[in-house]
A and B are shown apart, each in its own frame.
Chain A
Amino acid sequence: MFERLREILRHGIRNRSFVVGGLITLMFFLVALLSYFWTPYPIGDINITDKLLHPSAKYLLGTDHFGRDILSMLIVGARNSVIVAFVAIGIGIGIGVPLGLMAASTRGWIDELIMRFNDFTFAFPSLISAIMITAIMGPGAVNSIIAIGIFNIPVFARIIRGAALSIWQREFILAARSAGKGRLRISIEHVLPNTISMLIVQATIQFALGILAEAGLSYLGLGTQPPAPSWGKMLNEAQTFIHFAPQLAIYPGVAIVLTVLGLNLFGDGLRDVLDPKLRRDR
């Protein structure tokens, strides 16, 4: 296992998007982790006399209209994004992967049912549907996680089914069947391990999309609720002051763009690194 990891790193170090994306992603996670131990100011600290300050030694990135420290809010916002995206991907993988494996191994009407249901959910733009779900169930961090998670399910189900279908044609599956293995065992022991690299890459991309979706929902006021900070909500609040304090919108905006870009680059690089056929050292 560690050998494999070392090999991935050895090839990855020569892949530019893997390195750049990996570093940004790593930084993002470290910042999220940091929020548990330290922020320049407690995020609940309202100091109305210091409102809308420009960056200074006291407030590194300035303050918002309540006098809260922007840097502290960004740090805690990172944590918030990580949690939402992580759990949403967990839901997507936890339900989508078994569905995809089941569809590929049984074929027939179960396959049809799963895939048509997939098509059905794909027919709606995911953010719109997430808005619908949070509108019905009520706004809040948990509900937005569920909404984003639900729209991760068909993504994983479809990609795993596609990969599994081609793996089911391979000869080692026939060998496993001739050893007396049933469909469930083959799916778990033979098909799934062969899809892991694809799964990891897709998870990275869905992670980035999850962060975007969370920011979008929070921007609309359907995601994370005050006083917990979120990048999307910071954007929303900055909207009012866009003419005389544009930096309020720029900071969370840059944070979102940088994170999503980093994750996408990382996912892209990871795919190249994990797939020997695409492995050209750039």
Chain B
Amino acid sequence: MTLLQAIDLGVKINTMDGSLEIIDQVSFSVDRGDKLGIVGESGCGKSITALALMSLLPPNSQISGQILLDGENILGLTRKQLCEIRGNRIGIIFQEPMTALNPVKTIGSQISESLVLHANLNKKQIIERVVELMECVELPVKRFPLNLYPHQLSGGQRQRVMIATAIACKPDLLIADEPTTALDVTVQEQILDLIKDLVNQYDMALMMISHDLGVIAQTTEKVMVMYAGQVMEQGNTEDVFKQMAHPYTHGLFSAIPKTGSSLITGRKRLQSIPGQVPDPRNKIFGCKFADRCSFSSDECRKSRPEQTMINQKHSVWCYHPIKTGKD
């Protein structure tokens, strides 16, 4: 059953340089229990997509298209109706646990925030629920009393608090916007495992946003590769990872350092994608990756390629998809 569907989502931000197209015709859908990953490099519009889903875009932005939550377009809702959805039906975990918690409020009060707003509980029940949530994210209340302030916790512990606040009302959809980017690798594993467990336990849909293909591989079943505000390729994570069809996806994968390819011995050089992300001020009518793509032709620069299906769920937006793997 489709939980959330974005149709032709577009975001423009008005700046002094005119209106910049940040997200362009992005469509995807998330079913209940789905685990969707969005991957792409910095500035490709991953986080803006997440904010758009919660209608939390900066005031100078324009949004077009539709975002349907259980069939209802949330872009047409009033501010009050949106507040009912945020935190209650969609929860979000932000990237920086250091700044996403209010420094002058106790962690207990921050976890209880959405409960106070959305759940029909009395004070005692709220405290019980907060304690339960703390246990869920493995912060036993005995060691971490509710009246601690964020500065008394480590980064990983703060991210656990963030997760507890996001799942407090058992949302249908949990958006994790680079939840582990600010943490070191060992803590990263723990946090990802925790998110995975909680998603299963609470039967939430997960939208994992990351630039790290490893994180995506670990946590998602479907993936969407974005570049400069457009979708390049989408499909089941396994299919996309095994038979990447878009040159950009290919480039992303070759940019992962592999064991055995030592930089010192120089046996195998680490690949990079030449060039830079296009400036959103420049209007590009064709494929936005064309300038950096070794397969590009004139066609690529003239018009944006249509969606090409590789299999039932795997599709790519490219005139010259790479054929790899089995076929």
Q: B-contacting residues of A (Cβ < 8 Å)? A: 107, 170-172, 174-182, 185, 189-190, 193-194, 196
- Is the beta-carbon distance between A172 and B88 smaller than 8 angstroms? no
- Is the beta-carbon distance between A174 and B94 smaller than 8 angstroms? yes
Which of B79, B94, B96, B102 has the largest count of A CB atoms less than 10 A from its CB?
Answer: B102
- A179 and B59 in contact (CB under 8 A), knowing A171-B100, A172-B102, A174-B94? no
Report Cα–Cα, A99/B241, bound state, in Å.
55
- Is the beta-carbon distance between A179 and B101 smaller than 8 angstroms? no
Is B247 in contact with chain A by the CB < 8 A criterion? no
Q: A-contacting residues of B (Cβ < 8 Å)? A: 54, 56, 59, 79-80, 83-88, 90-92, 94, 96, 99-105, 113-114, 117-118, 162, 165-166
Report Cα–Cα, A107/B60, bound state, in Å.
12
- Is the beta-carbon distance between B79 and A180 smaller than 8 angstroms? no
The closest CB in chain B to the CB of A108 belongs to B59
Q: Name the contact of B113 in the complex, choosing from A170, A174, A176 (C-beta under 8 A).
A: A176
The closest CB in chain A to the CB of B79 belongs to A182
- Is the beta-carbon distance between B103 and A181 smaller than 8 angstroms? no
- A180 and B101 in contact (CB under 8 A), knowing A171-B94, A171-B96? no
Q: List 8 A-B contacts (CB under 8 A).
A: A107-B59, A172-B102, A178-B90, A178-B92, A182-B79, A185-B117, A190-B102, A193-B102
Residues in B whose Cβ lies below 8 Å from that of A172:
99-103
- Is the beta-carbon distance between B80 and A182 smaller than 8 angstroms? yes
Q: Name the contact of B114 in the complex, choosing from A171, A180, A190 (C-beta under 8 A).
A: A180
The closest CB in chain B to the CB of A174 belongs to B56
Give 14 A-B pairs besides A178-B56, A179-B114 with Cβ atoms closer than 8 angstroms.
A171-B99, A171-B100, A172-B103, A174-B100, A175-B94, A175-B101, A175-B165, A177-B86, A178-B92, A179-B113, A180-B88, A182-B83, A193-B105, A194-B103
Provide the main secondary structure of the chain A interface: helix
Residues in A whose Cβ lies below 8 Å from that of B94:
171, 174-175
Number of contacts between A and B (CB, 8 Å)? 65
Tell me the smallest distance from the CB of B14 to a CB of chain A, in Å: 15
Residues in B whose Cβ lies below 8 Å from that of A170:
99
Tell me the smallest distance from the CB of B153 to a CB of chain A, in Å: 14
Residues in A whose Cβ lies below 8 Å from that of B86:
177-180
- Is the beta-carbon distance between B102 and A194 smaller than 8 angstroms? yes
The 8 nearest A-B residue pairs measured at CB: A180-B87, A179-B87, A180-B86, A179-B114, A171-B99, A172-B102, A193-B104, A175-B100
- A178 and B54 in contact (CB under 8 A), knowing A107-B59, A171-B96? yes
The closest CB in chain A to the CB of B117 belongs to A180
- Is the beta-carbon distance between B162 and A175 smaller than 8 angstroms? yes
- Is the beta-carbon distance between A181 and B117 smaller than 8 angstroms? yes
Report Cα–Cα, A260/B79, bound state, in Å.
48
Q: Name the contact of B118 in the complex, choosing from A176, A180, A182, A189 (C-beta under 8 A).
A: A180
Tell me the smallest distance from the CB of B65 to a CB of chain A, in Å: 21
Tell me the smallest distance from the CB of A156 to a CB of chain B, in Å: 19
Residues in B whose Cβ lies below 8 Å from that of A181:
83, 87, 113, 117
Residues in B whose Cβ lies below 8 Å from that of A190:
102, 105
Which of A177, A182, A185 has the largest count of B CB atoms less than 10 A from its CB?
Answer: A177
